[in-house]
A and B are shown apart, each in its own frame.
Chain A
Amino acid sequence: MKKYLAYLRCGFLDGCAYRQYFITGMLANFIQAVVLFFVWKSIFHYQEVISGYTWEIMKQYVFVSFLCNSIFSMGFEMDAAERIIKGDIILDLLKPVSYRTMLFFRMLGTAGMEFAVTFVLVGGIYLCINGVQYLDFFRTVLFLIALLMGMGIKFCLQYLFSLLCFYTDNAYGVSKARETLTNFFSGALVPLAMFPGILREAVNFLPFRGIVYTPCCIFIGFFSIRECIFNIFLQFIWILVLGGLGTLLGKKAFSVISMYGG
């Protein structure tokens, strides 16, 4: 465990040293959130309720979903690809630690830094706009659990996508694709309840909803306590499934690399 803590620290320092990348990424996401905020505002100007959402709820949703979406979202595809192309990946694989666990702790360290920044920023804006009237202690605790679970799902997905980099040089494309996929199907942009007909049914069977939609609904109070617990359980199942898939495909991907020299 101690060796992984070293990676945790390493990730944290990494995040602090290269904070510019994180801030840029967050800013881009934040612009999107602001744009959506005003789009919704103008929409609710005409129509009071859309698929069960009112402007009061939407005001919370936009910022809470931004919080869920921006933490842990940097991804390590680019990093992994660079290491694969350069051959450095072999150093990671040779070490007496599990490659995935190492990545996880590094990411966790970085996420710690990101979380602090985003939390203060979003929390501040949220309180400015909504005040404390909707906050509920029990729900907030459940929300934090769901948020952590969501980060687990996010990590499993990132790992799966980073394995693709063993087969292609286009890491930017891979990470962009993952980002788009997650943004769209997790409910980061539009609440999943607003998806039209069959698509709404379909997204319920995808892992992405656990990343943003589940924590958001718990926080806003769309789920009853029973539903909350069921959904958190569902997130857990997805982590197991995606984790298992990662182990399987990881074995395959590692066998592809061939290195010259060293």
Chain B
Amino acid sequence: MKALGKNVILYFAFQKQNIKTLLQYRGDFLMMIVFTLFSQGCSLGLIYIIYSNIPQVGGWTMWEICLLYGFLLFSEGFINFFFQGAWKVTNMIYMSDLDRFLTRPVSVGLQLLTAKIDFEGLNKMVIAAALLGIGIGKCEIHWTVFKGICFLVFLGEACVIRLCMIWIASCMSFWMKSKSNSLNYFVISLGEMAKYPLAIYPPVFQGIFGYLIPYAFVSYYPVGCILEKEGMAAGAACTPLVCLVMAAAAYLVLKRGLRRYESTSH
């Protein structure tokens, strides 16, 4: 417990340093906000245009899709803002930056996770929160206290599952030993699939991109459960389990990977 507290304090200390580095490029900050707003606007525009022609996709209405989108965008923003370091693992291994981390008496995982911060994430989280708000307002959901708690838990779990996905994909660099690793980019791109209900894809795709890479538990089951759609409860109940499995896998991959790590001498 004490160790955990120490890590939390350290986490904030590291992030504080990261924020300082951002002040270097103040002008870009505004530009980034405009760009993010713009690109998210376009993605939402796509959904709007599709729905302006038809009433529903795979039995889901536009506002329900908004909730799916919100879950995905929120988890993406969460990673960008709090744990953007997950993206830098490849580069760190290649450049032997990891040596520096290994000499410190702090867990390597924590140092890697806090290697970078990206304010775009905050922006994304705000947009996602607004989307979720609008979506919830427009969908007729029978709220209970339990459901409210579930909603927040699901959102948290979506963030954890997605973080673990990227983390595992990034850590594959321990084995690949190349300058770049596109797996993590591939994994995040697959999020595109989770913006629409899983049921519209053929079974093979569902199996691979819904369960093997567990995107079904990021958005489809949680949102389906909150909207009280049929056959969602069982899937939603499995989310904590998936979450745990992913976290354990992420931990193992780092541990195994570090054992394999051999620095290129400088």
Contact = CB atoms under 8 A, between A and B. Distances in A.
A190 B49 contact: yes
Contact of B185 (A28, A39, A50, A177): A28
Nearest to A44: B54
Given A39-B196, A177-B35, A184 B28 contact: no
B52 A196 contact: yes
A28 B192 CA distance: 9
Given A31-B193, A42-B58, A42-B200, A23 B182 contact: yes
B238 interface: no
Interface in B3-36: 25, 27-28, 31-32, 35
A181 interface: yes
Interface in A45-93: 46-47, 50-51
Judged by DSSP, the binding face of B is helix
B49 A20 contact: no
A102 interface: no
Interface stretch (A135-143, A167-175, A218-226, A241-249): A167-175
Contacts of A39: 50, 57, 196, 200
Nearest to B29: A170
A173 B35 contact: yes
B192 A168 contact: no
Judged by DSSP, the binding face of A is helix
A173 B32 contact: yes
A interface bracket (residues with beta carbon within 8 Å of B):
35 or more
Interface string A151-183: 000000000000000001110011011001101
Interface centre among A50, A184, A196 (most CB of B within 10 A): A184
Contact of B54 (A21, A38, A46, A180): A46
A27 B183 CA distance: 11
Interface stretch (B37-45, B102-110, B164-172): B37-45
Contacts of A170: 25, 28, 31-32, 35
Contacts of B54: 43, 46-47, 50
B interface bracket (residues with beta carbon within 8 Å of A):
35 or more
Contacts of A173: 28, 31-32, 35
Contacts, number: 91
A32 interface: yes
B53 interface: yes
Interface in B192-232: 192-193, 195-196, 200-202, 205
B264 interface: no
A31 B54 CA distance: 23
Given A24-B182, A31-B189, A176 B50 contact: no
A72 B31 CA distance: 25
Contacts of A4: none
Contacts of A42: 57-58, 200
B57 A31 contact: no
7 contacts: A31-B190, A39-B200, A42-B200, A50-B54, A174-B35, A184-B46, A190-B50
